[in-house]
Chain A
Amino acid sequence: MSDHVDGPRQIGDPPADLTDLFAFTSPENPAHTVVAANAFPSAGVTAMFSNAVDYSIVIRRVTVAGRGEGSKFQPEGPEYRFSCRFDALERGADGKSPIQRGTFTCPGGQTAPLVVNDEKGASTPDGVYRVFAGLRSDPFFLAWAPAVLKKLPNLLQHDNVLAIVVEFDTTRVLQPDKGSLFGVAAETKPLAGTNSPIGMEPPRLDWVGRPEQTNMRLNNPAMDGADDLRDLWNQQTPFAIAPDLEPLFRERLVESLTNWDMRDGRADWTPSAIRSAASVYLNDFLLFDVSKPIDDTTFLEIEKSTLHDKPYQTGGGRTIDANVIDIMITWMVNNDREFLQGGATQATKLGLKTFPYEATPNEQLQTVMSTIDLAGAPGEVWNVIGKFGGEWHPLVASVQLIGEGIGQLRRIELKDGKQIVERLDSINNAARSYTYTSISGVGVSAYTGVLAIQPKSSGCSVEWKVQYLADGQPDFVVHTIISTLQKTGFEALTKRFGAAT
């Protein structure tokens, strides 16, 4: 996955694990540039940044120092460094969820305090910079099994990440009159401590330039037995790969790109073109030109045009919604002969047109599921539990049906006096299953249930699955209510039909 879980150093502390990097023109203000770095693959809804890590996005001016087979992008001049550091958790007011504060530092040293997950973000006093830090829907999508290039559904569907989004005035910060092409990389490093070696840079935990440098190119999943170079790569300094290690990385990139080229059994790249592309990939920063248009299709255009010995036409970069994986795989596998579309065309959610541009986080669907194997025949059991208005459950005092067919409601009076209203959404008597939605009585939203019977040996297997969003209620309360309902119901069915032996 883009740069998700790409080395052992990050696995121990996942908020230090960078997943993706973006650079694009602000959809809100064309005079502004946005750079964003994401971290913590598959973050849960309460995920927070590490307080021991410096999160930086670094931009440097770049020149095209060679074209065609000698393609080279040369970083020049000083770096523009945007850093975020975060505190430990603070107790939330009135027992609410804990909060986390942080500090954003921009090039030149100006700072702005920020609160994680504050949608409005924080701005520097001069209004030049704006920053957001917090949980968002993961904009990356990967819908391939990379080792065998088989289409799959999006492997990051419903995932969230921790995002740092920085927007700034392009002219005031980058001074594009001195050159409008830039390279950007993001990195995580441990903070210096009191015992840190003096004069030594802290070891890098992770960094990311272009997507999939580590998980697909340096560690090509189809190359069995190759040493895993990802951790070594992650310790390199962005914009300055150690010269003594460069041959090692170059050789691996050539081998890997050759392997990718032959995935469809056809050589679309010449060996010299592969070597040139490897050189470009060694300059692992995301290229963007602030004087040219950047949209969802311009990713890698600067590199491709330069390798073809042509002036580039777009601003390259990477937008939130760019289908980078398919653009990249197509280029590596068939040199853009035919577009390779994976099993998904977009991430779980599309990006926003307003700050902070990355989509709101996905809610975490809770599931309570029970299964029981009974001695009774499937039809026999379905006759009892397959009626939407059936009163087979021992905790139910009465059921009143309102309406008929799909859409009908059942008003359930529980023995403890509680009332629950549910709607029938679908029923399949042949497959012996029905689905329903809770209308009221449980206090959670998006509550759906499935009751289904499958034949198993001489008896059957009954599955009862309930899913819901907890809506701020303590999850264990709702979970306990539902699991008790399921357990009691299944005990009654076991008594009636016998347990499968």
Chain B
Amino acid sequence: MSSTEALKPFAGTGREITSGAVSPIELAYPLTDGQLALNNLESARRHSWSTFWLDPLRPNIAEYIVEQEQLTLQFAGDPGALDRLDSLVERLGRVDHDSPRTLLIQAQVSSTAHRFAEARRCLDQISGCAELSASVKRLSMNIDQACGTQLDAVLESRQRIAAQSGRLEDLVPLGALYADLREFDRAHQIYRRALNEYQGTSPLAVAWVCFQLGVLWGELVPESQLALAAAWYQKAVQCLPAYVKARVHLAETCIRRELMAEAKALLMPAVASCDLEVSWRLADVLAAMGRVAEADKQMLVARSGFEALLTKHLLAFADHGAEFYSGSGNDPQRASELARINVANRPTLRAFEQAWETAVAVGETDQAAEILAAAKARWGDTHAFVFSRLADNYRQAINAGGLKTP
């Protein structure tokens, strides 16, 4: 597929996608229109909040809100979801202080904002609560996966759950785990299975899988396959035109292929979402088009927005902030600082890679060596490390005598 072909809207029914060497995906049944689905999500979210304020202790209402805000954050790119979730916890803390249910919800909210240590503390307090044990176990597993800890046990659980249910919502986390473990073909197979076997009508579900496939081929594999990634991102956007993250990632593939007009066309409709990556990437596009004043304006929005977000939700945006500042945000020192915060919070292999790269970029040699050694100590025995660029650098550093074997 040529780069321009990858950007064409899907013709006809739009039910198939030709993705390079990969056979087309053919969903058996149409999906609910993406705009309609997001309208319904927003409608239900507002209703849930209205109900919550009338009766914060109504069964399941806080749990619904957590789910709906997570979906809003994921698909509508609305970072205000994190503020609203904090206000939910604050209110529950006042009316139902320290109850197991409040602690579980607090753990879910903390985990959503990547405050994993805080989430684990809450879960520890309710570990003996039989009624919530399944939820506690599930969230603990999610946190372990997000932090790259106990991944063998997580894999075993994910495989078992996926085999039992076969549901898309259980297959996608399994695929994501394989991707984290750098077992890319397996990840791809699991995602494809999730799509092939999906018989529902939710565009959110399908867009989510397509987005994951885009990330897999565009960002995780050692050699990016941009056209393939673009095709998957585009499928995600087609299912859900307001899927901000998919638009941003698709625009990034356009930028990398110097398709600036296409990138701009993707980003402009997403400006109203308040997702800062939209402003950031739009600034890049406008700068490349020579529209310097407009680019500066967008970059200012992105920079001030990132700082505001980092002030409120440092751990949630530390990795994104590091990416921004090591790119056109152009503050490598800040990038390195944020990447270190991120790796301390969630020592995944990707986080180590980012921390090492940002340290190297600012010439923090000792810091980089420490990160490399820590990465080797934590991930060195894994299959994933073999595929990491840190592995080569580690070997080189050892050979050069700049690093002691842990």
Contact = CB atoms under 8 A, between A and B. Distances in A.
B265 to A, nearest CB: 20
B39 A98 contact: yes
A192 interface: yes
B296 interface: no
Interface string B45-61: 11111110111001100
B169 A8 contact: yes
A8 B201 contact: no
A42 B201 contact: no
Contacts of B32: 13, 15, 50-53
B65 to A, nearest CB: 11
A270 B167 CA distance: 39
A51 B39 CA distance: 13
B330 interface: no
A275 B46 CA distance: 44
B188 interface: no
A48 B36 contact: yes
Nearest to B29: A190
A366 B50 contact: yes
Contact of A52 (B29, B40, B44, B50): B29
Contacts of A202: 28-29, 199
Interface stretch (A117-125, A193-201, A350-358): A193-201
A194 B201 CA distance: 15
A65 interface: no
Nearest to A461: B94
Nearest to B58: A155
A53 B13 contact: no
B200 A13 contact: yes
Contacts of B91: 369
Nearest to A454: B94
Contact of A88 (B35, B40, B45, B64): B35
Contact of A367 (B43, B49, B58, B201): B49
A422 B313 CA distance: 38
Nearest to A371: B94
Contacts of B48: 42
Nearest to A15: B40
Residue from B32, B42, B51, B91 having most chain A Cβ neighbours under 10 A: B32
B66 to A, nearest CB: 14
A435 B51 CA distance: 20
B33 interface: yes
Contacts of B35: 88-89
A89 B39 contact: yes
A243 B74 CA distance: 42
A89 B34 CA distance: 10
A391 to B, nearest CB: 28
Contacts of B205: 12
Nearest to B94: A371
A193 B47 contact: no
Contacts of B118: none
A281 B48 CA distance: 33
A467 to B, nearest CB: 7
B209 to A, nearest CB: 12
Interface in A157-212: 157-160, 190-197, 202-203, 205
Given A365-B50, A365-B54, A369-B91, A47 B40 contact: yes
Contacts of B301: none
B40 to A, nearest CB: 6
A196 B168 CA distance: 19
B199 A203 contact: yes
A45 to B, nearest CB: 7
A51 B36 contact: yes
A145 interface: yes
A42 B44 contact: yes
Given A88-B36, A155-B58, A190 B167 contact: no
A191 B31 CA distance: 9
What is the size category of the interface that chain B forms with chain A? Answer: 35 or more
A39 to B, nearest CB: 11
Contact of A13 (B28, B54, B202): B202
Nearest to B41: A14
Contacts of B12: 194
Nearest to B25: A195
A205 B201 contact: yes
Contact of B13 (A51, A152, A155, A193): A193
A260 B143 CA distance: 38
B15 A193 contact: yes
Contact of A194 (B13, B36, B90, B165): B13
B220 interface: no
Contacts of A52: 29-33, 201
Given A44-B42, A145-B59, A371 B50 contact: no
B16 interface: yes
A12 B200 contact: yes
Interface in B81-98: 90-91, 94
Residue from B16, B40, B44 having most chain A Cβ neighbours under 10 A: B40
Nearest to A195: B26
Given A51-B36, A52-B30, A9 B199 contact: yes
Contacts of A40: 40, 44
B64 A155 contact: no
B300 interface: no
Contacts of B26: 195
A190 B199 contact: yes
Interface string B193-223: 0000001111011000000000000000000
Contacts of B155: none
B50 A43 contact: no
Nearest to B47: A44
Contact of B200 (A9, A42, A191, A197): A9
A46 interface: yes
A354 B202 CA distance: 35
B201 A44 contact: no
A190 B33 CA distance: 13
A397 B12 CA distance: 63
Contacts of A366: 50
Contact of A12 (B36, B47, B204): B204
A480 interface: no
A369 B49 CA distance: 12
Interface string B308-323: 0000000000000000
A53 B205 CA distance: 16
A57 interface: no
Contact of A42 (B16, B47, B55, B169): B47
A364 interface: yes
B71 to A, nearest CB: 10
Contacts of A155: 58-59
B362 interface: no
27 contacts: A9-B200, A12-B168, A12-B200, A13-B37, A16-B201, A40-B44, A42-B48, A42-B51, A45-B47, A47-B44, A48-B39, A50-B36, A50-B201, A52-B201, A89-B35, A89-B39, A100-B36, A155-B59, A193-B29, A194-B12, A195-B26, A195-B28, A196-B28, A202-B28, A205-B200, A205-B201, A369-B91
Interface of A: 8-9, 12-16, 40, 42-48, 50-53, 88-89, 98, 100, 145, 152-153, 155, 157-160, 190-197, 202-203, 205, 364-367, 369, 371, 461, 465, 467
Given A16-B200, A51-B36, A367-B54, 9 more contacts: A40-B44, A42-B44, A44-B42, A45-B43, A48-B39, A155-B58, A159-B51, A191-B30, A364-B47
Q: Name the 8 nearest CB pairs between A and B, nearest first.
A: A44-B43, A12-B202, A367-B53, A44-B47, A190-B29, A88-B33, A13-B202, A46-B43
